[in-house]
Amino acid sequence: MAYKVTLIPGDGIGPEVTLAARKCVEATGVAIEWDEVLAGSDALKATGELLPKSVLDSVKKNKVALKGPIITPIGEGFRSVNVAIRQALNLYACVRPAKTYPGVKSNYRDIDLVLIRENSEDLYAGIEFQEGLKETQELISKIESLGNNKIRPDSGISIKPISKFASQRIVKFAFEYALKHNRKKVTAVHKANIMKFTDGLFLKAAREVALEYEGRVKFEEAIVDNMSMQLVQKPHNYDVLVLPNLYGDILSDLCAGLVGGLGIAPGANIGDGMAVFEAVHGSAPKYKGLNKVNPTAMILSSALMLDYLNEKEAALRLENAVKEVISEGISLTYDFKTSPNDPQAVGTQEMAAAIIKKLKKV
């Protein structure tokens, strides 16, 4: 029986890269019935809403989605469609593997780590107070009355909630992920030395959860600033990283940089019994419609989706087909080349076609 999967093409380069990924998934032979729905600027034009309810309903029904990137309008009321989807569907774990593939431009070789980011709270919870508003002044006065803190009256305020529940849940997810994927070590990343009641709580939860896995998966802790340096100097020392939301966002781009850039960095947002797969990159609007960008991140995201659907053999075949095309160095998009104007670079759909050719040869 075919799997039912929601397909959200997204904005900018989203429709091109999701089309490439869809064709690759179909070429694996795994039967998928796609339920295509619009979110982002096309949805806004068609329905007046950036995130119509039908999108969330479709994912709730199908439990799995493949999603292209969606533009976040800067300075407008709506925070982010991407964050809204994760929050509405309670997709609390963001999984971002970072792997080097031979043939990719990178200063490193043989990196294979997975970053797991808490997706539901921290400074991304959306609790913000704008500078100058009456409620912001009230909040500032309240905070000042509760302690010895002085806050400038012309401040904006963002709140950083970190709970014991969500910290335990994400660390448990990281350990279970490690066990399931035969990984040896989980490193919890934090800034508990400074933020004792938020990151401190995250770290305490991590230590407690780690005890349940003693003898099965190794546990380490690292302070986020030191971790940033360690990742650049000794990325091979790490296996699975688990982080609160903001550090996870920043370090996942750092990890993407280690392995060759956003064009090849896949991702997944996972909750209990539901998952949305998407590349780490955004909608790169300047490349929209040019058939130019790298489809790899989206194709590898769809391989993660196949793995999640328990189509492990198809997932591995798809990843290996991508690996082969990259290592051959022929049918590659501009970003794999030394010069972005290299005339040998192929387009998005042509790179996907080369991957499909490998899949069909097996």
Q: Catalytic amino acids? A: 124, 191, 225, 249
C-alpha distances in angstroms, 37 versus 56, 138, 147? 10, 42, 49
DSSP class per residue in 10-71: -STTHHHHHHHHHHHHHHTT--EEEEE---SHHHHHHHS-SS-HHHHHHHHHHSEEEE----
Report the residue number whose CB is nearest to ligand NAD.
282
Q: Does 294 bind ligand NAD (CB under 6 A)?
A: yes
State which residue, 73 or 200, has the beta carbon closest to ligand NAD. Answer: 73
Q: Cα separation of 346 and 362, whole Å?
A: 23
Q: Residue 216 to residues 113, 121, 236, 287: CA-CA distances in angstroms?
A: 18, 29, 20, 46
Nearer to ligand NAD by Cβ, of 97 and 263: the residue is 263
Between CA 90 and CA 75 the distance in angstroms is 25
- Is 301 a binder of ligand NAD (CB under 6 A)? no
If one asks whether residue 262 binds ligand NAD (CB under 6 A), the answer comes out as yes
String of DSSP letters for 167-195: HHHHHHHHHHHHHHTT--EEEEEE-TTT-
Bridge partners of 36, per DSSP, are: 7
Q: Which of 82, 100, 136, 302 binds ligand NAD (CB under 6 A)?
A: 82
Q: What is the footprint of ligand NAD within residues 308-337 (CB under 6 A)? A: 335
Q: What angle do CA 287, 346, 24 make, to 5 degrees?
A: 85
| Residue in 32, 70, 240, 299 binding ligand NAD, rule: CB under 6 A | 70
- For residue 278, state whether it binds ligand NAD (rule: CB under 6 A): yes
Query: Using an 8 Å Cβ cutoff, are 94 and 242 in contact?
Result: no
With respect to ligand NAD, which residue has the nearer C-beta, 198 or 245?
A: 245
Q: Does 51 bind ligand NAD (CB under 6 A)?
A: no
Token representation of residue 209: 């959860």
Residues between 1 and 30 that touch ligand NAD (CB under 6 A): 17
Instruction: Check binding of 115 to ligand NAD (CB under 6 A).
Output: no
Q: Whose Cβ is closer to ligand NAD: residue 178's or residue 261's?
A: 261
The one among 7, 297, 315, 346 contacting ligand NAD by CB under 6 A: 297
Question: Is residue 339 helix, strand or coil?
Answer: coil
Question: Quick check: 59 binds ligand NAD (CB under 6 A)?
Answer: no
Candidates 31-39, 104-112, 150-158, 281-289; binding stretch for ligand NAD (CB under 6 A): 281-289
List Cα–Cα distances, 20 to 17, 60, 78, in angstroms.
5, 24, 29
Residue 72 touching ligand NAD (CB under 6 A): yes
Q: Which of 21, 32, 69, 173 binds ligand NAD (CB under 6 A)?
A: 69
Minimum distance from residue 278 beta carbon to ligand NAD (Å): 5
Closest CA relative to residue 51, chosen from 78, 19, 77, 90: 78
# chain residues binding ligand NAD, by CB under 6 A: 18
Kind and range of the H or E run holding 203:
helix 199-212
Does 256 engage in binding with ligand NAD (CB under 6 A)? Answer: no
DSSP per-residue codes, 227-239: HHHHHHH-GGG-S
Tell whether residue 263 is a contact of ligand NAD (CB under 6 A): yes
Subset of residues 171 to 200 that bind ligand NAD, contact rule: CB under 6 A: none
Binding of residue 87 to ligand NAD (CB under 6 A)? no
- Interface residues with ligand NAD (CB under 6 A) are 17, 69-72, 82, 262-263, 278, 281-284, 286, 293-294, 297, 335
